[in-house]
Amino acid sequence: MNDPVITPNTDKRALILDGAERVFVARGFAAARVEDIAEEAGVAKGTIYLYFASKQEVFVSLIEVRAQELVLSLQNQLFEIQSAALVLKSLVRIKVEFYLKHLGLIDQAFQWAPQLEQELQARLIVSRSSIAEASTHHLSKFIPAAFPVSMLVVTGVIDGAVNGIVLNAIEAQEVIDAEKIAEDVVFLLLPGMLQR
């Protein structure tokens, strides 16, 4: 009942990943210095190597954690929604919110893959797949059996649309409203998806 010592976020791993995310997002993987990550996380440079084998491993671990969070988000919020429109809208809203919160981290992550060691690349792919599956799972329930466009293309369009819209909006320095974007995407895509 009483917990005299508040351990504020004492999980060092999470602490380091939080710092790392800020640096990776601001500079990209290649330009992010381990020293920056340490400073941002409030630990010494050496400490990072107690929890992670390398800078690459920090990066991949971060992606894994964030991907897991997104997957949980999708599972929790898309569960039990009954209409195609609402699933699509919620899916887009969640992705936009996630994109804004993590500033495109995941979506950009895969550009760095070629520079990572084989094993770490594999871990990235697993994360990517788990996200794709979570998105596809709820969506596929509403796609007609004989739909002439493959699910791979459908999810590609949706994911890409989110990225494209947000990137354009950031470029144009517009205020980003996840709800509004979700409505726009439903407006544009739903008619096509319900055809036949």
CB of 10 to its own copies, least distance (A): 21
> How far apart (Å, rounded) are the C-alpha atoms in residues 23 and 29?
8
Q: Is 132 in the site for DNA (CB under 7 A)?
A: no
CB of 12 to DNA, least distance (A): 5
Residue 35's binding partner, choosing from its own copies, DNA, none, with beta-carbon cut-off 5 to 8 A by kind?
DNA
Residue 76's binding partner, choosing from its own copies, DNA, none, with beta-carbon cut-off 5 to 8 A by kind?
none
Q: For the purposes of burial, counting CB atoms within 10 Å of the CB of 174, is it exposed (0-12), middle (13-18) or buried (19 or more)?
A: exposed
Q: Which stretch binds DNA (CB under 7 A): 41-49, 124-132, 148-156, 163-171?
A: 41-49
Q: Is 180 in the site for DNA (CB under 7 A)?
A: no
Of 26, 31, 72, 188, the one binding DNA by CB under 7 A: 31
Angle at 191 between CA 186 and CA 194, to 5 degrees: 110
